Structure 1
Amino acid sequence: MDMASIGIFIFAVIYITAGNGGFVNVQCKTENMGQYGQQSLLECAVKTSQGVTDVVIRTVSWKKEGVDEPLLVFHKGQTIKQPRCSFAEPSWNNRNMNVSLHITNTAVEDQGVYTCVVMTDRGGETSETRLKVTAKYSKPAIIAEPEKLTQSTGGTLVCNSVGGYPKGEIRWFGELNEDWTKSAKMEVKKTESGLFELSSELTLLPGSTYSMYTCAVFNTSGGKEDETTFEVPDGQDASGRSGKEPRKQSAQITKIVAPLVVIGSLIVGLLVVMVFVYGRRSRRDHQEVCASESDAEKGGHCEMDKEYYDTLAWGDVNAPNS
């Protein structure tokens, strides 16, 4: 007789004989939580009426809803079990009232409703319990498209988080914690293992004023599991240098040019003074020469020279041609 046949036989016997007395009660925890890839425990225990002692368990059967073959069967002193399933206590025997089920390497497919059937020498009973499986999502990773995305050029930020269960959600937040999730587009993929992969794209328009964005992954209960922050550069040129470098270079150039401008102004001013002084001196010397001349005919010539030197000294645009 195979395990499926044994299970059907046990269930039939228990349901027929379970009404033989109310001395035995199987109490199972309503809901159990299991972590993907870890060990899970479905807690059930046999309770007896007051004064009832020395109870001997004859049969135990664990079955999952939707699966025909039992996961674990104890019958006639023998235990038959499926891989990854066993009694919670390794040294379990027919006088141990702890009939909890232990599942190793919990998978998504293990989630569901389980039935525990117990038959003792004082009667039997059936009870149900539920297993919920969860898996934590990986730390979000953000990729910029294009790679050299800046506030001035805009682009797309892609956030990915994988390996979670049940289906979660990716949310976006700005530097002031404002919610940008509605502006993003999220995709959900289910892997062969039943876990989920989440991907969300947030488009940044050119001229964005925000310097950082945070991508956070939330589980199905609305709890935040992890987050990653991406800093957006304020600008980059074609060579990939940040926008801060040109400003720094400009400041350095200004520091060099400013003294040169001052020096140049001083030189020009000095030249103007020299021309002015030279013009006045030349006019004075020429006047002295004219005063010493006794010939009256040279008076007109001196007057003309006087006007000429006045022009040199004061820059008269209407100076007479020599």
Structure 2
Amino acid sequence: MASAVLLFFVLMVMSVRDGKSEKSLFNLKCESAVGVISQNTNIPCSIESQKKPVSINTVVLKRLGQKKPCFVYQPHENTITGDTRFKVLGGSSLQLQNTAISDEGEYEYHIRTSLGEDLIKFTISVTAKYNNPVITSVPEKIEKNGRAELHCTASGGYPAGTIHWFDQSNTNWTKSASLDITRGDDGLHTLSSTLRFQSFDTLWAPFKCIVLNNKYQEEGRSSFILERKDVSETTVGNNTMTNTIAGVVVIGSLVAGLLVALLCRQRRVQHPLPSEPQYDEEKEGLEGSVYKETADGRQDFSV
């Protein structure tokens, strides 16, 4: 009985030693990867071994914190289980197709070969480049020393980045701006920055809007030359308004005078003046009069 127990212990020690010797001949190395959304992401891995060639039996990929593997590959049987977007390339390297934001995280990579097995961890980070920023101003034409707002918007990026403002002399105005970050249903971010001025100096233009990713690397920029509202333009506008008002006053006066004239004429028609007697040249008298001769020979005209 004792001899049987001793034999079992020796065999167990030998198996452990053999396992260690096999493990020392096989080492797996992988690099963390940065993937771009909707593109393929390569995870470079390599096998370091004192014995060659090395035959791979099983590949198991599992997300950290999850019990169930997300990808299992057995090359001898040519079977794949789990997420078919993963592929084994070049022996031990991996590729993730159509990368999504949900793929971001830490993974455990377990590989079993003819020389033993090894496990290593790596991380997949996901990025998406922001679209080129667009700058607008309120108002569109800015008057010197007037109020103004500059708006810069960049969308379609991941992770969340930031926006910086610079004027024509490369002075940084970012501290005076407000930044708003929104995340869409697709997980991508939109950056919106607003730079406000109580008194704008047109000599500061043009302004530059620069988009930076989460690592403060530039991903895009736009310049905007402001349309300046000149004093002459304002004067022309005021003169036009003045001339318009003057024309309205003149026309109004003419209309009022015409109305007064029409009113006076109407009153004269309703109330005519007494008619004066008219002289009749044939009778050398007044029309409507009666000619009489008095007893003393005098002539008399009576109406």
TM-score of the superposed pair, with normalisation by structure 2: 0.64
Residue deviations 1:225-266 (CA, integer Å, cap 9, x gap): 2111111223158xxxx84995xx9xxxxxxxxxxxxxxxxx
Alpha-carbon contact 2:71-2:84 (below 8 Å) kept? no
**Rounded Cα–Cα distance in structure 2 between residues aligned with 1:223 and 1:244:** 43
Which has the greater radius of gyration?
A: 2
Is the counterpart of residue 235 in structure 1 residue 229 in structure 2?
A: yes
1:183 matched residue in structure 2: 176
Letter in 2 for 1:228: S
> For residue 205 of structure 2, what is the aligned residue in structure 1?
211
Tell me how far apart the structure 1 counterparts of residues 168 and 233 of structure 2 sit (CA, whole Å): 20
Is residue 104 of structure 2 the alignment partner of residue 111 of structure 1? yes
Q: Is this contact kept in 2: 1:32–1:42, CA < 8 A? A: yes
User: How far off its partner does 1:183 sit?
Assistant: 0.6
Instruction: Name the aligned partner's letter for residue 39 of structure 1.
Output: N
CA distances 1:71-98 after superposition (whole Å, capped 9, x unpaired): 3212362222414222235xxxxxxxx2
CA offsets per residue over residues 258-298 of structure 1, 9 Å max, x none?
xxxxxxxxxxxxxxxxxxxxxxxxxxxxxxxxxxxxxxxxx
1:26 corresponds, among 25, 28, 39, to 28
SS of the equivalent of 1:21 reads helix
Q: When you count helix as a share of all residues, which structure comes out higher?
A: 1
Q: Does the 8 Å contact 2:141/2:228 carry over to 1?
A: no
Instruction: Flag the 1:109–1:66 CA change in 2: closer, same or farther, 3 A.
Output: farther
Return the offset for 1:70: 2.1
The alpha-carbon deviation at position 54 of structure 1 amounts to 4.2
Q: CA deviation at 1:216?
A: 0.8
The CA deviation at 1:21 is: 2.2
CA distance in 1, matches of 2:56, 2:205: 68
- Partner SS for 2:106: strand
- Output the amino acid matched with 2:195: L
Structure-2 change in CA distance of 1:19 and 1:69 (3 Å): same
What is residue 38 of structure 2 aligned with on the other side?
A: 37
- SS of the residue corresponding to residue 139 of structure 1 reads coil
The change in CA–CA distance for 1:180 and 1:18 in structure 2 (over 3 A counts) is farther
Runs (5+) with no aligned partner, structure 1: 1-16, 90-97, 250-322
Letter of the structure 1 residue corresponding to residue 188 of structure 2 = L
Distance 1:192 1:18 in 2: 50
CA RMSD of aligned residues (A): 2.7
1:56–1:120 CA contact under 8 A, matched in 2 = yes
Using the TM superposition, give the Cα deviation of residue 201 of structure 1 relative to its aligned residue in structure 2, in angstroms. 0.4
Task: List structure 1 runs of 4+ shifted beyond 6 angstroms.
Answer: none
AA at the equivalent of 2:227: P
Paired amino acid for 1:212: P
Match of 1:85 in 2: 86
Distance 2:122 2:58 in 1: 18
Counterpart in the other structure of 2:52: 53
Contact 1:188 1:197 in 2 (8 A): yes
Name the residue aligned to 2:135. Answer: 142
Distance 1:235 1:40 in 2: 51
> CA–CA distance in 1 between the matches of 2:227 and 2:52?
75
Q: Which residue of 2 aligns with 1:290?
A: none
Bigger proportion of residues as strand: 2
Aligned to 1:95: none
Tell me what 1:287 maps to.
none
| Aligned-partner Cα distance in 2 for 1:18–1:235 | 82
Q: Is the 8 A contact 2:29 2:47 kept in 1?
A: yes
Change (3 A) 1:47 1:153: same
Kindly tell me the number of residue pairs found equivalent between the two proteins: 217
Give 5+ residue unaligned stretches, structure 2: 1-17, 240-303
Report how far residue 213 of structure 1 moved.
Answer: 1.3
Percent identity, please.
29
Cα distance in 2 for residues equivalent to 1:60 and 1:28: 13
Q: Is the contact between residue 60 and residue 110 of structure 2 (CA under 8 Å) also seen in structure 1?
A: yes
Q: Relative to 1, partners in 2 of residues 1:86 and 1:245: Cα closer, same or farther, differing over 3 Å?
A: farther
